[in-house]
Structure 1
């Protein structure tokens, strides 16, 4: 019918439009990054910019469907600029707090304690897309640099080739070879693969079960469009790594097996991709392959020393497990300097202070985090653990109810806390946490039994849970020592 034909034609136009927008994104991220890098690296003396925040680019295309493009361009610029070892770049989760904000960029820069902010907007006029990018001095609000870029859709392939060549030639002496290689391309020359990756990554950051499920499909489509696109493999691996926490029907064992296979493939495609080394390190940590995991974390930090996520996961997934608590806290402080507004980084910094028996500091850190993010459920969850360890069971129960409300009355003691913990645990991946509640209630047998089950099921929380002071009362037990020995970490 004519209506069906019209719908089909509209869908074709939409797909073609998205394809072209993806190609434009490939070019624009290269152009804007190159210009910003050239300016930043050419400055010297007292006026040199040593820290920057790339604020979320504004989607002014009149099509909300292009939001993935403005977000993706922002993320790509953060990733490119963070490869410079002497430039501190604020992480995505911090700068995206300001998405849609009407606050003066200078004030945002001051609050983040950076020397400059990069702001931008994307527009579309017919077959042409434009990007306005401006670098603003935080100290006085002056524009340090600004430029406008227009790209015809029909010229994308040739323009991208020219810009890549010119940037590689002009910046080769200023950047490491790895940074030059990644500045010159976005990981793929396939516009459709790039678009699919950006859409998948946008959903990944949203951290909802439906969004993560959809991101798996989008990353797989990106891999099909370009089988050599290492970033798409990395995105897929990272989705599987976080899947067990979102009750997506993927067990910890399944997740780490899939992530292990995918990250190996990503690194075969691009051994110099820092994100792939981090994802592989996470998969290896979850598989309790500690020596290999540390090698991957260290390699990732060599390639990109300013990646807040790598510092965070190195601390949380490896150093804590190895009982290198002081080193873990130092890595956390580095991560927080790059990503000061991240709720999860701030929450788990408090958790590691708990592991270190620094309860007052941990309590203050939890309170600071919840003042900024009162609805952040993981903070309530881990604060409840601290309060229970401190013997404040009534307060612990109140916090745990904020994590997941369970109808009923629970006595304000260790047994009431245990009952609520058992009732609120979302999946079998929390058996080690239940074991901690049993230990606090004085039930050594069930504490050990649940830890043994957590080991058998490869509970993803186990390697962190064993550092909880709740287990201090059973650490001398042979069964506890055997569990720790099999995991392969210090007691």
Structure 2
């Protein structure tokens, strides 16, 4: 049995790995004493704090992100050489950064990069560290560097579904939908019960023009409580592609009721296209007021103005969204689907749009 003291947790993991490998008839390479499970820290309390922080990684709320920060900080205080805890801290700094605005966002994104660089300085073979640095690079629009680190992460640990999701997201941005679908399918194979993996698979299907399949994928996600916010946005894109603006309004209205700026911007745009211009203008006024007091993002106003047909203002806000990094935000952010979808049809015919893509390094590869 594996009934041992908690202090032996890493030895237990190693013994389990050996037992499973033995049952499968695997040949263990190297010396007999070689560990199959690397010991990340010698301090079990630090490891427990790391696990608590990691449990909060996928819970998308500001309070859980800040609690996660605290767990990772405590783990590092106990063991400053704990590379995985530094990578976890970097992830949470990035998460908090996507929920704040202006200088605060820039500060948290900088802290995220500093923490992940520390993680990789301690252990350059840490798959989690390279995946996190890939996400950091995407937020800075450095897609080539992001791809290198994400690919390295998969080489180090092919079983990380989230890294495959990040690569699917990256290839949607770089205009390679077939590659995006390949990575999204692999993420779903690795973790078929993951709501985010299923949503990213639907996003990749949509990127390949397979709206019927994407909507079928999203039907199950619509039943989740609390709902996965990105799922409604992806469904709305499918309806918009078909010119079904009232259906897009219907799927976004419950989400927009929560007042989140990203969902509100998308909602205002589809309202305008559905002929409900007055409500769209009220939403724009709300978003503008938030932006003026430092509580909103430029990209949300770009989306509403695109929906309202104000091309010049939409370009003004798009330029600002590069500066405040609200255009991409984080993996899972709807930016690319919006600017490459029907809401931005008029803008994409404008020479300014191609110049903007060139600035972001998004020329066709």
Structure 2-normalised TM-score? 0.80
Partners in 2 of 1:226 and 1:448 — Cα distance?
48
Per the alignment, residue 328 of structure 1 pairs with 180
**Per-residue Cα deviation, 1:26-78 (whole angstroms, up to 9, x for no partner):** 333233233223323439xxxxxxxxxxxxxxxxxxxxxxxxxxxxxxxxxxx
Per the alignment, residue 485 of structure 1 pairs with 358
Q: Single out whichever of 471-480 and 209-218 deviates more from structure 2.
A: 471-480
Deviation, structure 1 residue 370: 2.0
> Judging changes above 3 Å, is the alpha-carbon distance between structure 1 residues 246 and 38 closer, same or farther for their aligned structure 2 residues?
farther
- 1:452 pairs with 319, 323, 346, which one? 319
Partners in 2 of 1:194 and 1:433 — Cα distance?
39
Local SS of the residue matching 1:204: coil
Per the alignment, residue 349 of structure 1 pairs with 201
Partners in 1 of 2:85 and 2:318 — Cα distance?
36
Q: Single out whichever of 247-256 and 477-486 deviates more from structure 2.
A: 247-256
Deviation, structure 1 residue 406: 6.5
Per the alignment, residue 277 of structure 2 pairs with 415
Partners in 2 of 1:246 and 1:21 — Cα distance?
40
For structure 2, list consecutive stretches of 5 or more residues without a partner in the other structure.
260-267
Per the alignment, residue 108 of structure 1 pairs with none
Higher helix share: 2
Per the alignment, residue 17 of structure 1 pairs with none
Higher strand share: 1
Asked if residue 40 in structure 1 is aligned to residue 24 in structure 2, the reply is: yes
Q: Radius of gyration: which is bigger? A: 1
- 1:466 pairs with 339, 359, 362, which one? 339
Deviation, structure 1 residue 267: 0.9
| Contact kept in structure 2, 1:256 and 1:287, CA below 8 Å | no
> Judging changes above 3 Å, is the alpha-carbon distance between structure 1 residues 444 and 207 closer, same or farther for their aligned structure 2 residues?
closer
- 1:170 pairs with 32, 41, 54, which one? 32
- 1:300 pairs with 133, 148, 153, which one? 153
| Contact kept in structure 1, 2:97 and 2:106, CA below 8 Å | no
Q: 1:171-190 counterparts in 2 under 5 A?
A: 183-190=36-43
How many residues are matched?
Answer: 339
Partners in 1 of 2:278 and 2:24 — Cα distance?
58
Local SS of the residue matching 1:320: helix
Partners in 2 of 1:261 and 1:473 — Cα distance?
40
Local SS of the residue matching 2:358: helix
Per the alignment, residue 263 of structure 2 pairs with none
Partners in 1 of 2:201 and 2:275 — Cα distance?
27
Per the alignment, residue 233 of structure 2 pairs with 381
Deviation, structure 1 residue 356: 3.6
RMSD: 3.3
Deviation, structure 1 residue 237: 0.8
Local SS of the residue matching 2:201: helix
Local SS of the residue matching 2:173: coil
For structure 1, list consecutive stretches of 5 or more residues without a partner in the other structure.
1-19, 44-83, 85-166, 173-179
